[in-house]
Amino acid sequence: MARFSIIVTSASLDSQGCYSAYRFTQTAITNGHQISGVFFYQSGVNIANTFQTMLSDELALYPKWVDLANEHKIPLQVCVTAANRRGIISEQDAIQNDTPELFNLKPPFQSVGIGELVSMLNESDRSIQF
Amino acid sequence: MARFSIIVTSASLDSQGCYSAYRFTQTAITNGHQISGVFFYQSGVNIANTFQTMLSDELALYPKWVDLANEHKIPLQVCVTAANRRGIISEQDAIQNDTPELFNLKPPFQSVGIGELVSMLNESDRSIQF
Amino acid sequence: MILHKLSHSPYSQKNFVSLLTRITDKDGILLTQDATYALSSTEYCQLLLKQTVNVYALEPDTIARGIQPVMSEIQLVDYAEFVTLALKYNNVISW
Amino acid sequence: MILHKLSHSPYSQKNFVSLLTRITDKDGILLTQDATYALSSTEYCQLLLKQTVNVYALEPDTIARGIQPVMSEIQLVDYAEFVTLALKYNNVISW
Amino acid sequence: MKSLAIINQQGPLHSNAGQESVDLVLAAASFGQDVSVFFIDDGVFQLLKMQKPDVLEHKHFAKSFGAFEFYDVENIYVCQRSLTLRNIESNQLNVACQILSDTELNAKLANAHNIITLS
Amino acid sequence: MKSLAIINQQGPLHSNAGQESVDLVLAAASFGQDVSVFFIDDGVFQLLKMQKPDVLEHKHFAKSFGAFEFYDVENIYVCQRSLTLRNIESNQLNVACQILSDTELNAKLANAHNIITLS
């Protein structure tokens, strides 16, 4: 059994990558592997936006990640700099902006620095990027 | 003198397109042309997110569009369906969601249907996409 | 021993072919997403197999696109086998 | 009389060359963004000029990238000339 | 009434471009535009009959091509060269369409007032 | 200490990939990773000395390549074939680097624990 780091750098609507990452993560868990964490970088951070609203017959990937993370206690780590550049703001960012209600990044997604990616890579056996 | 429709379909951080559209629009106005409107579609809607925060030495395109629109009364029209899919929510959307404070699309950007694109195209001499 | 994970269409991205010359016969190639379109082309399949016999394609991505593979030497794998492949090689590059 | 606005790198996107065969000698071509990298290649410049003599490149995009054009037959234009070009042709396709 | 050409250049699962192209075609047609639809380059992969996007939990938006004629969108053009290069035969396609040469495609596009590419 | 290879595959103004690559290199190095940086395909365009991104109001992130050595990032590898294809000479480059053949590049990448491509 191995420990995986999953890195997502593609936006969910501009590539199939974010969905493939979800399926890979789900399958790795089912097959007894551990997930050190999922790190969202570049436009991959877009999936963390709570305001996303898909039409009812379209794939809604956000709740799938949320359910997977909650069920299996997987850290969903979103790079704060990449997220802020793309208008994804955590509660802590919102408090610093003096608009404490205005945020669109919520747990289980966490706003983190790149140091968390390094920790994740150091404690895993293999990383894979989508 | 001519009337232009500008269509933006590329995300500002994934392509130079949104910046090129800004420069084209600005130049067309300077040279005496009219802008029927700018229509943001596909990942082009991302520029309308008020939560975007660039680092101080990075290009901040959002305020540039806002200033250009306010100064010259240019409609900045954002396709509501494309925007909602990407977590860009207008005040009206937020009211309908019973969370009237939680929105990240503000004037001069407007949330509109595709019908507005058709009107814009019908009243302009030339359209150009970025 | 690198697993090269490809995800772009060979018909639209030049990198698809240009990266092949960097692949050795001990490496593996996994076609995913639009890279699976290579399966319907004898020419692309041969280019891939010339570099290494270890060429795989993600079956769900292939079926979803309605692709009919032309060469049986490229093995179709499911997500469980994808996970196994990622561990079999020393590292994975996502091109 | 179409103005074909290209914005992708000829080195990475296959469409750059494949769309050239659809361009007639009355059409215009405007290189913008990463398509301006074609200016540093005699081969790409010749491919473009073979289709039409009306080939233009957006100068700010060229300068920003540090590109040194190899053929003077491709005219460098600024944004004001870009606006004029967009009106000179019947319509514009952004490839 | 102005004419609008919509060009599809990407495969169906590459991005959301296919769905957002359909949205655009149907809405523009219902607002009275004279819409024509083009499938070029990897866009021709959207026309494959055998697609099963449900395997990836994706919506089968290409089924909406069947609705085009109810919106009076009857000009559906496909690039012959793009099909040939991808070994796709006309009997594999999921919608009635006209298969055009490069020259014919250029002529059709030259006639459109406005052109939008989805990629 | 694990090794991390960062691959740049896109031109400097194509997207934000170049800036976010620099962010990643400097942060990972400051957290003690053994970082190596690769420039491949259009990524070699990031190395052109003559760039003037201020003409497009963009930040000149490539200037940060000069900071790599202060973070002990000394392994900067460039694909020879990518340079040749693009008619780029080594004296046009903005950072000290090793120009490698395909075989050498593959060997360097094979040694990395983790690999991230920025594209």
Residue C90: name the closest of F1, F100, F36, F109 by CA.
F109
* Residue of C65, C68, C70 to mutate for E, most E C-beta atoms under 10 A: C65
> Is there a contact between C5 and A28 if contact means CB atoms under 8 Å apart?
no
Residue B18 falls in the annotated catalytic set? no
Let me know: does C92 contact C86? Beta carbons within 8 Å. Answer: yes
* C17 → chain D, closest CA residue: D12
Q: Is the pLDDT of residue F70 over 90?
A: yes
Closest CA to E38 of E2, E70, E71, E81: E81
Chain B CB contacts of F118 under 8 Å are none
CB environment F59-91: b (16+ within 10 A), e (fewer): bebbebbeebeeeebebbbbbbbbbeebebeee
Spatial CA neighbour of B90 closest among A54, A94, A51: A51
Radius of gyration of chain E (CA): 13
CB contact (8 A) between residue D91 and residue E113: yes
Digit-coded pLDDT (tens) for D3-46: 999 999 999 999 898 899 999 999 999 999 999 999 999 999 99
pLDDT (tens digit per residue) in F9-37: 999 999 999 999 999 999 999 999 999 99
- Nearest CB to A17 within list C7, C60, C87: C7
Distance CA F98, CA A36 (A): 34
Distance from CA of D4 to the nearest CA of F (A): 19
- Dist CA D61 CA D34 (whole Å): 8
Q: Print the domain residue range for E81.
A: 3-118
Tokens of residue F104, six digits: 């050498």
pLDDT in tens, A50-90: 999 999 999 999 999 999 999 999 999 999 999 999 999 99
> Residue E107: what pLDDT?
97
Question: Which of C15, C24, C91 comes nearest F114 by C-beta?
Answer: C91
pLDDT higher than threshold 90 for residue A7: yes
Q: List subunits contacting chain A, requiring 3 or more Cβ pairs under 8 Å.
A: B, C, E, F
> Between chains, do B16 and F14 touch, taking CB under 8 Å as contact?
yes
How many whole angstroms separate alpha carbon B4 and alpha carbon B75?
A: 12
F-chain residues near D32 (CB < 8 A): none
Two structure tokens written together for C2 = 């690198």
Catalytic residue among A79, A89, A105, A120, which? Answer: A79
Question: pLDDT band at residue C89, thresholds of 50, 70 and 90?
Answer: very high
Shortest distance between the Cα of B109 and any Cα of chain F, in A, equals 22
Instruction: Report the residue of B118, B120, B124, B128 to disrupt the E interface, i.e. the one with the largest count of E CBs within 10 Å.
Output: B118
Cα–Cα nearest to E19, from B85, A44, B127: B85
Contact between C82 and C28 (Cβ < 8 Å): no
- What's F72's domain CATH number? 3.40.1260.10
Average pLDDT for consecutive 10-residue bins of chain E (119 residues)? 95 97 98 97 98 98 97 97 97 97 97 97
Instruction: Give the CATH number of the domain where residue C69 resides.
Output: 3.40.1260.10
Q: How many domains does chain D contain in total?
A: 1
What's the confidence (pLDDT) of residue F1?
Answer: 79
Q: How far apart are CA E74 and CA D62, in angstroms?
A: 41
**Residue D48 domain boundaries:** 2-94
Of the listed B68, B79, B83, B112, which one is catalytic?
B79
Question: Using the beta-carbon criterion (under 8 Å), do F116 and A7 form an inter-chain contact?
Answer: yes
- Look at chain E and report how many structural domains it folds into: 1
**Residues pairing with F34 in the sheet:** F3
Pairing of strands F114-118, D28-31: unpaired
**Contact with chain E for residue B11, Cβ under 8 A:** no
Q: What is the pLDDT along chain B (130 residues), one digit of tens a residue?
A: 999 999 999 999 999 999 999 999 999 999 999 999 999 999 999 999 999 999 999 999 999 999 999 999 999 999 999 999 999 999 999 999 999 999 999 999 999 999 999 999 999 999 999 9
- Respond yes or no on whether ipTM tops 0.85: yes
Amino acid C48 reads: L
How confident is the model at residue E1, as a pLDDT?
79
Helix H or strand E segment including C93: strand C91-94
Per-residue DSSP letters for D28-60?
EEEE-GGGGGGGG-HHHHHHHHHH-S-EEEEHH
**Nearest beta carbon to residue F45 from set D33, D37, D41:** D37
Beta bridge partners, F114, equal F4
Residue of chain D whose alpha carbon sits nearest to that of F85: D11
Q: Which domains does chain B have, with CATH numbers?
A: 3-129 (3.40.1260.10)
Å between C33 CA and nearest CA of chain A: 7
Tell me what percent of the residues of chain A surpass a pLDDT of 90.
99
Q: How many CB atoms lie within 10 A of CB E22?
A: 22
In terms of Cβ atoms closer than 10 Å to its own Cβ (0-12, 13-18, 19+), residue E97 is buried
